Amino acid sequence: MKRGKFIFILPIALLAIISFSAFKRDSHNFELSKQLNIFNSLIKEIDLFYVDTIMPEKIIETGIDAMLEKLDPYTTYYTEEESEELKMMITGKYAGIGSLIRFHEKKNTTVIAEPYENMPAAKAGLQIGDLIQSINGVNVVGMSSDSVSNMLRGEAGTKLTIVVERPGTKQPVTIKVERENISVPVIPYYGIMQDSVGYLQLESFPEGCAKEMRRALIDMKNKGARAYIIDLRSNGGGSLAEAIDIVNMFVPKGLNIVETKGKIKRSNEIYKTTREPVDTVSPLIVLVDGQTASAAEIVSGSLQDLDRAVIIGARTYGKGLVQVTRELPYNGFLKVTTSKYYIPSGRCIQAIDYSHRNADGDVARTPDSLTNVFRTAAGREVRDGGGISPDIQPKGEKLTTLLYHLIQDMAIFDYATDYKLKHPSIASAETFNLSDEEYDAFKSYLKSTGFNYDKESYKALKQLKKMLDLEGYTEATKTEIEKLESTLQHNLDHDLSFFAKDVKRLIADEIVKRYYSQKGGIIYSLRDDTDVAESLSLLKDLKRYREILQPTKE
C-alpha cells in the first residue's frame, strides 16, 4: 500500500516541477518582451519629442554599452566599423604599416614608438621618435592615436604619404609607405641562454601561435636546449584552442586540459590534448605576473596542475571566463561571455564574480579566505578563485613615482632619440651599459626640459593637512607635519641619485631598442631580470626543482 502511494505521488511531484519550470520560463520571456517593448517605445518618443534632433546610432550604442557594462568587461558590442578591431584581436592580423604608435603629450601629436622589423614602416624608413604631422595630406597634429591608427590601417597594397618631423632634421621628412597584411609578432624573441636553457617570450594567443611556438621549441631543442623558460608575463591571452595546443607540447596527448561550463548545453565541453608533445621531460619554468590572463592562465595553470612546470613570478590576473563571437544584423558582432573554464585540478581561477555587485555597482576580487583547495596530479595544494599563485614569488621591483613619470612623460623616450643622433653605434645588446658620465648627461638633459613631478606621498600629505585643519589639529601636529613635509619635499637630484640603478636600466633599454629593435631590447632586459635570474638559479639545482613539484610532507 505504501509503495503504491509512493508511485502515485511521484508523477504529481514531477508534474509540479515541470509546471513551475514552464511558468518561470514563460515569466522570463514575458518580462523580456515587455522591457524590449518599453525600450522601443521610449526611443520613438525621444526621437519624436526631444527638443534637439538625436542621432539614433549614437544614443542606442551608448545604451548598449551601458547595458553590457553591467555584465562583465569582456562582453562587448562591435559595430560594422569596429569589426576589424575584433578580427585583429582574434587573428593578430591586420593591414597597415606595422608599427607601434603613441600619443606624445608635449609634442601634441602621435609618435612612431616601435616599427616592427621587416614590415612596411621599417622598410620605408620610419624611425622611432618620428612625429607624425600628416597622412595623405590630412593634418593629424592634436588627433588621438586611435584616430591616427585608423588612418594608417587600410587595404593591403594601398599607399600612404606620411610627413613626419624627425629629431635632428630641420625640414619635415616625407615617407611613402605601402600597406601590407601585418601579422603582429607573437614571439618577439627566443634563444638559448646560459647553461643550455631555452628562453621564449610569448606575447598573446592569436590563431596560429601554437604552430609558431612549436617550431621555435623544436629549433631550441635541436640547438641543445636542456630546459625551458616560457615567458607569459603581460600576456593577456586569446584563443582557448591555441592554449591547449601549447600545453600539449609539454604533456602527452589524451589528457583533459580544460572543461567549460555555461548556461546552455553547447557551452559545456571538455578539451583534451590531441597531438604528440615536443618535450615531456626537460625541466620547464613558466614566468607570470599580474597581467598574465585568460589563455595564458590556462597554460600556466594547467602545467601547474599537471606538475609539469614550476611557475615563477607574481599572482596572475584571474580571468576564468570564456567568450565567443556572435554575428548581429548590419555586420555587427557581439563578443559574449558564455561559460567559465576549469583546468585539470577542477579549479576555476576567475577572481571576480560580476553577478554579485556592491550597492554602488562595484565588484571585488574573491578574498583568499573564501577560496577552495584543489589538488594537482601529484597532490600539491592549489586554490581557485584568484588567478594562478606562483610556486616561487621573487621580490618584485616596484615602479616608483619618479620612474612612472619618466616613462609617462616620455622623458626617457626622447632622451634615447637624442642619444642616437649623437652616437652612430653602440655595443651589442648583450654588453651595452650606460656609463656614469652618460647618466650625468641624462640628468642635465632632464633639467633642461623642465621635467617635474609630484610624489604621491606629498599629495597625500597635502590632503592630511586639510583634514587636520578641518578637525582642529593643525597646531598640535605642526612640528611633526613640518618635519614630514621637509622629508617629502620634491628633490629631483636626490631621487635621480637614489633610484639611479633603475633609471639607468630604463634608459639603456630604450637606447638599445634604437639600434637593435624590439629583439635587442628584450635581450638587454633579460640581463637584469629578477624572475629570469631566479629561474636560471633553480634550473641549476634540479633537486630543488623536483622538490617544488612534490606535495609538502606533513
Q: Which residue numbers are catalytic?
A: 294, 305, 319
Which cell numbers hold the place of 83? 569589426
Phi, psi (rounded to 5 degrees) for 87: -60, -40
CB 341 within 8 A of CB 260: yes
DSSP 498: H
> What are the Cα distances from residue 501, in Å, to 369, 446, 528?
38, 16, 11
Element (H, E) at 101: strand 99-104
DSSP 81: G
* Residue keyed to cell 607574481: 314
* Residue keyed to cell 609539469: 308
* Residue keyed to cell 619635499: 489
State how far Cα 374 lies from the chain centre. 27
Of the candidates 101, 435, 155, 89, the one whose C-alpha atom is nearest the C-alpha of residue 294 is: 89
Element (H, E) at 174: strand 173-178
> What are the Cα distances from residue 274, in Å, to 204, 233, 289?
22, 26, 29
DSSP 440: H
Distance CA 510, CA 62 (A): 40
Query: Strands 76-78 and 93-96: what pairing?
Result: unpaired
**3-state percent helix, strand, coil for the chain, nearest multiple of 5:** 45, 20, 35
